[in-house]
Amino acid sequence: MNTRLIAARVLTRVIQDGQSLTAALDANLPAVELSKDKAFVQALCYGVCRHYYRLDFILNELITKPIKDLEIKALALVGIYQLSYMRVKPYAAVSETVLATRKKPWAKGLINALLRNFQRDQASLEQKANTVTWVATSHPLWLVQKIEHDWPEHAQHILLENNQQPPMSLRVNLSRISTEQYLQQLAALTINATAVEGCPSAIILEKPVAVELLPGFMDGLVSVQDVAAQLAANLLDVQTGQRVLDVCAAPGGKAAHILEHQPQLKELVAVDIDSTRLLRVTDTLQRLKLSATLIAGDALAPQDWWDGVVFERILLDAPCSALGVIRRHPDIKLLRRADDIESLQALQQNILNAIWPLLAPGGIMVYATCSILKQENEQQIATFLATHADAKEVAIEEATWGIEASHGRQIITGTAAMDGFYYARLVKAA
């Protein structure tokens, strides 16, 4: 099948049906036989999602009336993306994209004319796109406004970083091998990488590689995980013999890191509402030869799954807008809506209230999100502290990363190559 057509079908599922890019690719990539073709389809889909608002603006400048067939519209976006951002030869980009219309012959002339006109007028179209902030940065207007409101001094940096491809970061299993030793193993395979200051387990690769090429990956020496996500285990300060709860645990990277960080736990309980996603936690733990108690349960209703024994440590990686990981999941810009934030804020507060009673007196809870919005982060913690007399914040003074917020610490997307992330540390009165 024509790879451009497959990409258009994937994008239609995202744009029209609100399906995640990951799910849409999983459903359509099996039709692609060659690995290089799969990689090309992925590059097209990620690229169009990443630059969707700019591409869509340019497309609208090229047409006199809307394209009602969304698959053909997606195909037009695929064509413009190739000509704007990829190293595909222009004649190949046009001809192959036009060929993708063969089952809809009426669209052949339309796509051909659109792409030819774009080639002719590209400079003026690009210049016009650069005059509108949300178009130039390829973000929905509501999101640009929220970022500028919360982080006026960092807004341009965040918007730029959201459109970059993130680095491939690794978490070394320090219970099995040192970071320096693993760097030596990478160097022996001519895989260039550097350690990360302030995060002992973290390594950033100069270029992404397939996981099967990483030494010891299947033996559990290393995992793929963003540096910001690796900070949770240290913040929890887990001690020997403690009982730990990881709430909203899937896909299990932080749970695994906690177990690597402190192998002598009494028990780690990982809870997630999605039983299918919980299978990924099982897979992660099996590869790393780690064990935990896995529970498919609703964090809002711990009475349905909690055994009544309190936990000395709790990690609450709360459901959030995920606006800090847009560079990894650019479809977030298409799928997230402005009115999602208030409902997510309410959900986060309700989970905090529901889980807090499970923490032992003197115990520590770490609240985390992969969001950059204050509404989900420092304002959320301010509200919680104001309504829970037995809760006290423990400042993250030891950190060399992020920005000190009114409560907790915020990592701005792209700073020190990290995703946008937020952490706050709370202790319950003894």
Q: Which residues are catalytic?
A: 370
User: How do 391-393 and 421-428 pair as beta strands?
Assistant: antiparallel
- What the block records as the tokens of 333 is 């810009």
Q: Under a CB-based contact definition with an 8 Å cutoff, are residues 409 and 417 in contact?
A: no
Residue 91 parent element (H or E):
helix 90-99
Find all residues with CB under 8 Å of 126, minimum gap 6, and list them. Answer: 58, 84
Cα separation of 302 and 298, whole Å? 7
Question: Distance between CA atoms of 377 and 373, rounded to whole angstroms?
Answer: 6
Torsion of CA 305, 310, 313, 319, to 10 degrees: 30
| Token couple for 228 | 């910001």
Contact 38, 32 (CB under 8 A): yes
Tokens 């950059």 belong to which residue?
A: 372
**From the centroid of its chain, how far is CA 7?**
21
**Helix ranges, 210-274 (H):** 231-236, 253-261
Tally of CA atoms within 13 A in the half-sphere of 77 that contains its CB: 29
Asked if residue 50 lies in contact with residue 330, where contact means CB atoms within 8 angstroms, the answer is yes
* Helices 21-28/3-17 angle, 10° precision: 140
- DSSP code of residue 168: P
Within 8 A by CB and 6+ apart from 359, the residues are 310, 311, 314, 365, 428
Count the Cβ atoms, other than its own, within 10 Å of residue 351: 20
